[in-house]
Amino acid sequence: MQRNCIPRKNRLKTLVIGLDGLSYSLACSLAEAGVLRSLRPFLDSNKAKAITSEIPYLSPVNWTSFYTATGPEKHGVFGFTEFCFKQKEIFFSDFSKVQKEPLFGPNRAQNTYFKIINLPHTYPAGPISGQLISGFLSLDLKKAIYPPPLYSILHAKGYVLEANTIKAFANPKAIFSELRKTLLARRLAFDLLWPDLIWDVFIFVLTEPDRLFHFCFDALMEPKHPLHQKTVNLIQDLDKLVTRVLECFRKLPEPKRLIFLADHGFTKLHIEVDLNAYFRQIGILQQKYLFTDPDLRGLTPKTQAFALDAGKIYLYPFCPEAKKLAKQKLGEKIKQWLLALRYKQKQVIARVFWHYELYPEAKFSHVPDLICVPNPGFDLKGKFDRKNVFEKYTRTGAHLEKDVLFFDSFGSQVKRVRDVGKLIEEVL
């Protein structure tokens, strides 16, 4: 029997709980310590495992890979910002730039009804088969909601889109009050969208772990740290919300399915590494002046390469007609330089890929030429206003390619984030 012929009350209901930035090993440790109690029974089962994120292991890349069930070579998202060789300009990536229809798109959903809360890289919200509250990086609540009538309800209830992490750069303590605001907002949205049970797939993403770990990873890992208990308390608050969601799930009749998913892992930050500052040192990036905005007029036409976060490198950006052989030679030189880069005798870059190695099918004009994967603890940056290659600011945690949390009550085996999207695609 085709799915759209099955009475809705007898359909499989799938709940996806996204925990942005939560490593599998860290989740196990926190559950065992009684901090993440809600996850303990799932992590103790043989259905939980660590999978691998997409590269680059940034939220826009991975959550887009999840909700399209494809990789960057198909959906066209390689990071927060992209460089278009054709237009010779940097642009910010958002939902409108996604080149593959999402699983919840009107033409792909196949009469499957979705309810989605705080899913990153879905702003500005557009027509979907269901209801959507966009997540990171959403700028305007009105543009983050579909269908539009939901806006007035959420606005009246004071829904908060995102924590103001800028405050945490000046004072890490500020992150706690900010994250409690967003946890309250997520609870509010869940209580609003869950009860009618007319949905087939419910996606509920909590980005709070990522925000917390960026600024308080050291506090979490060091019991004597002055912010340790505050960090633990915040995770316990998050645990209460997950417990609430799981209680509602348990009340659902069969058939039902539960999936936990992170987009990348997390580890202690050694140092931030600005590749553009390094490129200036070796003479392949020439800047007239330092700048913070994406206006590339500060670079000279003689620039041979520059980088964007996190580890994406563009060769001969202002000379796209450069012969393939010239790019190949320059790229190989850069690979050697980067693989030889050391910080306190530690190798910074683990691997450097050509775009055709990672994304053989990509035909977009904004595909980076080289993509770097650092060793754990090194956070690759591509700024245009930093003087030093190595610098530590307020952050204490860094993304990790591996050790990504995954659980499926059906016990499916997957390898990376896009494969989790394929599990949802099978439902369609």
Tally of domains in the chain? 2
Could you count the other beta carbons within 10 Å of the beta carbon of residue 126?
16
Whether the pLDDT of residue 320 is over 90: the answer is no
Q: Is residue 218 domain-shared with residue 95, that is, in the same domain?
A: yes
DSSP state of 86: T
Q: Is residue 305 domain-shared with residue 246, that is, in the same domain?
A: no
What's the CATH number where 94 sits? 3.40.720.10
Q: Is residue 252 domain-shared with residue 285, that is, in the same domain?
A: no
d(CA 203, CA 18): 7
Three-state SS at 211? helix
**What's the pLDDT at 427?**
83
d(CA 63, CA 56): 12
Q: How would you classify the pairing of strands 265-268 and 397-400? A: antiparallel
**What's the pLDDT at 390?**
98
Q: What is the token pair recorded at 247?
A: 């209680």
DSSP state of 375: P
Burial environment of residue 166 by CB neighbours within 10 A (0 to 12, 13 to 18, 19 or more): exposed
Contact between 140 and 162 (Cβ < 8 Å):
no
**What's the pLDDT at 303?**
96
Contact between 13 and 256 (Cβ < 8 Å):
yes
Can you say whether the dihedral through the CA atoms of 35, 37, 38, 42 is positive or negative? positive
**What's the pLDDT at 1?**
34
Q: Is residue 217 domain-shared with residue 282, that is, in the same domain?
A: no
d(CA 235, CA 263): 18
Q: Is residue 14 domain-shared with residue 124, that is, in the same domain?
A: yes
Contact between 290 and 384 (Cβ < 8 Å):
yes
- 241-267 CB burial, b ≥16 within 10 A, e <16: bbeebbeebeeeeeeebbbbbbbbbbb
Cα-trace Rg, the chain: 22
Q: Is residue 101 domain-shared with residue 126, that is, in the same domain?
A: yes
DSSP state of 311: T
pLDDT single digits (tens) 207-253: 999 999 999 999 999 999 999 999 999 999 999 999 999 999 999 99
**What's the pLDDT at 357?**
96
What average pLDDT does the segment 178-198 reach?
Answer: 97
**What's the pLDDT at 110?**
87
Specify the residue for token string 């390094």: 278
Please state which of the ranges 5-14, 29-38, 148-157, 170-179 shows the lowest mean pLDDT. 5-14
Whether the pLDDT of residue 113 is over 70: the answer is yes
Whether the pLDDT of residue 9 is over 70: the answer is no
Q: Which helix (H) or strand (E) holds 216?
A: helix 208-221
Contact between 120 and 182 (Cβ < 8 Å):
no
pLDDT single digits (tens) 365-424: 999 999 999 999 999 999 999 999 999 988 999 999 999 999 999 999 999 999 999 999
Q: Which residues pair with 83 in a beta bridge?
A: 90
Q: Is residue 161 domain-shared with residue 254, that is, in the same domain?
A: yes
What average pLDDT does the segment 179-185 reach?
Answer: 97
Q: Is residue 197 domain-shared with residue 327, that is, in the same domain?
A: no
Q: Is residue 20 domain-shared with residue 159, that is, in the same domain?
A: yes
Q: Is residue 217 domain-shared with residue 252, that is, in the same domain?
A: yes
Specify the residue for token string 């999207």: 421
Q: In terms of residue numbers, what domain contains 26? A: 3-268+400-427
What's the CATH number where 356 sits? 3.30.1360
pLDDT band at 354 (very low <50, low <70, confident <90, very high): very high
DSSP state of 319: -
Q: Is residue 50 domain-shared with residue 136, that is, in the same domain?
A: yes
**What's the pLDDT at 3?**
46
Q: Is residue 217 domain-shared with residue 240, that is, in the same domain?
A: yes
Three-state SS at 260? strand
Mean pLDDT, the chain, whole residue set: 95
Q: Which helix (H) or strand (E) holds 245?
A: helix 228-250
